[in-house]
Structure 1
Amino acid sequence: MYIDLQELIFNYIIEATARFREKTAIRLKNQAGAMCRPDEKHLRNLDSSLKKNTAFVRKMKTFSASQAESLIKDMTALNLSKYISEIAAALVESKLKMTDIPSAVTISNPSKLRVDLRFYADLVNVGIFPYKEGLALLGGVLTALIQGDKEEHKNINIILSFCKHCGEDYAGLVPKRIRQLSEEYGICLPKSDLLTPEKTRNVRQLLKDYYASLCRHLIKEHNELQAFERQNKRILQTKGELSGERRERLDSLQSSYDKLLSNTISFADILDEDVPELSICGMKHFIIAL
């Protein structure tokens, strides 16, 4: 068991270090590339045929990770300078899977992209967008998603996805189990060099504030569900049955609460926070995130 736990944390360190190095290398390459764009003479020597260029745009509309290598090869031979907007639109409108995003990042170009939070965060991370402006826009979007959603938490899945895929780089998030093992064995964990420690703390605090509001929401729904169940119990004792409307209402409350509880447990694990203490019929208990 001891060996298995050590292997777990060492594998995490190896994989995290490789991820950070790969993203840093791509970022440096893209930042250097922005300083030496191909000139008109170079572009004129590339293939500008309408047929091949439009075919490339069509391929981008059905982009998947398996196509990345062949598309990059095509890019080196085609003069796509007049098709950047079409390519960008095709890429972000394609039905990307999470597994496609790392490959999509390697062939993206700066443009007026309409992208999801995770995709945009990865583009900023690897230097596709200018660092200062890219981070400012990302921070603005993340703040708007969180600050305007502290009551209903309709954006929770977007925020969870960001934390899961980008939290390591932007907020220094580490899985709870890995953090516990690193402390137990006295092992230092690798960290991303994308943001300064201060900026990383600011992002993490923003996420923690959102989690705190999520906990308040969970407790509120928990209390509402408990109160409704007590009412139903009294009705059953006096009338012997519940109306169809009350049964539907109970199902709705239970479904909403279960979903909220599941999201809270997932978020707590990602942020390394405790799940709130709840009470049932006057008896307190802790929900344990496994």
Structure 2
Amino acid sequence: MEHMENESHEGKKQDEEGHHNNEVVRLEEYKKLIDVKTALRQSNLNPERPDASHLRTLDSSIKRNTAVIKKLKAINDEQKDGLMEELKSVNLSKFVSEAVSYICEAKLRSADIQAAVQICSLLHQRYKDFSPCLIQGLLKAFFPGKAGDDIDPDKNSRAMKKRSTLKLLMELYFVGIVEDASTFINIIKDLTSVEHLKDRETTQTNLTLLASFARQGKHFLGLQKHGQEAYDEFFMGLNITDDLKTFFKKSLSSYYDAAVAILQSEHASLRAMESENAKILNVKGELSDENTALYEKLRKSFDQLLRCVSSLAEALDMQPPVMPDDGHTTRVTTASELSPSGKHFSAVEPIWDDEDTKAFYESLPDLRVFVPGVLLGEAEPKLVDQHGKVHEQTGEHKLEQGAEVQNNAEASVPEHQLEGKTNVGSKNREKKDKTGKEISKEKEADQKGDIEREKVRVTDGASLDNLLQRLPRWSFAI
């Protein structure tokens, strides 16, 4: 017993040591990232740009510059170093706007953001007009503006583009390329507009973007990352005023409260539908395709909204919303799974074991085929009696007519024909009498045969008994 307790204690100790080591590694990586941002920020705030004479010595050909610029559309960490060397070898003074357009069109992943920041920092330190042009181009992802701007018709692509652009803008602010924090005011105002709450897809997209903004820029909201307080000096140098922090936090909190209200309303509708579906299942054993599709649609919408709201709550260091549970309804279309409130739901089983049982109780026969209409009240008894009397009168009338016809026929037949018929009848009676006598004789013969066979059987039995008696008897001493 003591040995098991010692092993358990050692296991817990190893887990704690492993967790501590992971925390140390994570903090070391975060420190390196902060050091890189600090160095980039100092270089970007005080750039030492090359003069015009130096730029003239670089390759200014259209062909070469175009080839290098096109690579800016596919920025990633693997190609970052090679691309930066190529950018240092060309003179992009006349191609800054083209370079910015390719960067804005790039489909950046989260892992590519830091590579894009370093490339943008290089171009910012070499060309003075790069940063204003870049900021203006990136903001078009949130404010397309004129109809001539290229807008992606796919909503998912637009949402992903907004997310990567917002991350890039915030990182550019951290490294000093975007110098004014008020750049984000219009973005947050647009994302937290209550008008967007009318559209479900837009609401979910905005909640996701706001959660990303809150996680990445906790210092914009006056929040601190847990375990990273030692590196607050870097963020304190960003010069985010208290008014801006109040604005950002209030805007996100208000939008969160509005989203929670919608979530609770949708949850109430979902519970009511679940209760109604449970009643239908108990009565009919199954739901119609229309009810199932409607329920699945509402449930999917609720689950997606719940995830988005919970994500924003976590980013704001708030407790996720807890939906009220009346304890009387269950989810009715899927197998067991966890509900939003953490309770376990299970599917309501059908009341029929198989299709034959269901058909026996639901496929009822048509009683009109098996039961007379009188018993079902479909015909009046009086009418039936009247019809019966009419049929009886008709039958009697027909019988009377038949008798009269027969009498008339006999009266019209000549006498010699009647005598012939009488002779024929007497002959037939004689034949019948003879046949009856022959049948009686055959029966008597059969009875005599049965008696003889019985006598033979008795005689054989007696002979067998005599034979058995003559056999010697043996006795055995015990």
TM-score tier by shorter-chain length is 0.7 to 0.9
Q: Which shifted more, 6-15 or 36-45?
A: 6-15
Aligned twin of 1:20 = 34
The AA in structure 2 aligned to 1:75 is L
Establish whether residue 161 from structure 1 lines up as the match of residue 212 from structure 2: yes
SS at match of 2:324: strand
Once the two structures are overlaid, the 10-residue window that deviates more, 193-202 or 114-123, is: 193-202
Which consecutive unaligned segments of at least 5 residues does structure 1 have?
A: none
Question: Matched residues in 2 for 1:48 and 1:169: separation?
Answer: 42
Aligned-partner Cα distance in 2 for 1:103–1:189: 26
Q: Within 2, Cα distance between the matches of 1:72 and 1:188?
A: 33
Question: Which of the two has higher C-alpha Rg?
Answer: 2
CA deviation after TM superposition for structure 1 residue 170, in Å: 3.0
The alpha-carbon distance between structure 1 residues 104 and 42, as it changes in their structure 2 partners (threshold 3 A), is same
Choose which of 231, 237, 262 in structure 2 pairs with 1:190.
231
Closer/same/farther in 2, CA of residues 4 and 273 from structure 1, 3 Å limit: farther
Quote the residue 2:308 is aligned against: 263
For residues 53 and 309 of structure 2, what CA distance do their matches in structure 1 show? 56
Q: Tell me by how many angstroms 1:211 deviates.
A: 2.4
Number of residue pairs the alignment of both structures matches? 272
Match of 1:145 in 2: 191
Query: What residue number does 2:46 align with?
Result: 32
| Separation in 2, partners of 1:51, 1:122 | 32
Q: Does 1:127 pair with 2:176?
A: yes
Match of 1:117 in 2: 166
CA shift at 1:13, angstroms? 3.9
Cα distance change, pair 278–15 in 1 and its aligned pair in 2 (3 A): same
Distance 1:172 1:16 in 2: 20
Moved more, 230-239 or 42-51: 230-239
Deviations 1:186-242, CA, capped at 9 Å, x for gaps: x95532232436234543343333322232222122111001111222333444432
Tell whether 2:106 aligns with 1:65: no
Q: Deviations over 1:145-192 (max 9, x none)?
A: 11243454232222233334x2245335556xxx4xx5xxxx955322
Tell me how far apart the structure 2 counterparts of residues 286 and 252 of structure 1 sit (CA, whole Å): 16
Of structures 1 and 2, the one with the larger relative CO (CA 8 A, separation 6+) is: 1
Contact 2:59–2:91 (CA<8 Å) still a contact in 1? yes
Match of 2:292, as an amino acid?
A: R
| Residues 1:287 and 1:141: Cα distance change in structure 2 (over 3 Å) | same
Range with greater deviation from structure 2 (149-158 or 101-110) = 149-158
Give the partner amino acid of 1:97. R
Instruction: Say whether residues 1:46 and 2:58 are aligned partners.
Output: yes
C-alpha displacement of 1:85: 0.9
Matched, 1:234 2:279: yes
**Quick check: 1:13–1:189 contact (8 Å CA) kept in 2?**
no
C-alpha contact (below 8 Å) 1:16/1:190 kept by paired residues? no
Q: How does 1:196-211 map to 2 (within 5 A)?
A: 196=240, 198=242, 199-211=244-256
Using the alignment, how far apart are the partners of 1:144 and 1:99 within structure 2?
A: 26
Question: SS of 2:231's equivalent?
Answer: coil
The DSSP-based 3-state class of the residue aligned with 2:313 is helix
Q: How far did 1:82 drift?
A: 0.8
Describe the shift of the 1:190–1:87 C-alpha distance in structure 2 as closer, same or farther (beyond 3 A): same
Aligned equivalents of 2:323, 2:185: Cα separation in 1:
33
Q: Larger deviation: 1-10 or 232-241?
A: 1-10
User: 1:64 and 1:9, CA in 2 relative to 1: closer, same or farther beyond 3 A?
Assistant: closer
Percent pairwise identity: 29
- Alpha-carbon displacement from aligned partner over 1:78-117 (angstroms, at most 9, x marks no partner): 1101111111111121222111111111122411423521
CA distance in 2, matches of 1:40, 1:93: 29
CA distance in 1, matches of 2:303, 2:89: 53
Contact 1:276 1:286 in 2 (8 A): no
Q: Which amino acid aligns with 1:17?
A: K
Deviation at 1:7, TM superposition (A): 4.1
Matched AA of 1:31: L
Contact 2:166–2:213 (8 Å) recurs in 1: yes
8 Å CA contact 1:173, 1:270 repeated in 2: no
Local SS of the residue matching 1:196: coil
Displacement of 1:12 in angstroms is 4.5
RMSD: 2.7
Question: Following the alignment from structure 2 to structure 1, what is the Cα–Cα distance between the partners of residues 183 and 229?
Answer: 32
Deviations 1:42-85 (A, max 9, x none): 22222112221111012122222211111211222211011111
Query: Residues 204 and 2 (structure 1 numbering): CA distance in 2 closer, same or farther, change over 3 Å?
Result: farther
- Normalised to the residue count of structure 2, the TM-score between the two structures is 0.52
Letter in 2 for 1:120: L
Specify whether residues 58 and 38 from structure 1 end up closer, same or farther in structure 2 by C-alpha distance, changes over 3 A only. Answer: same
* 1:204 maps to amino acid: K
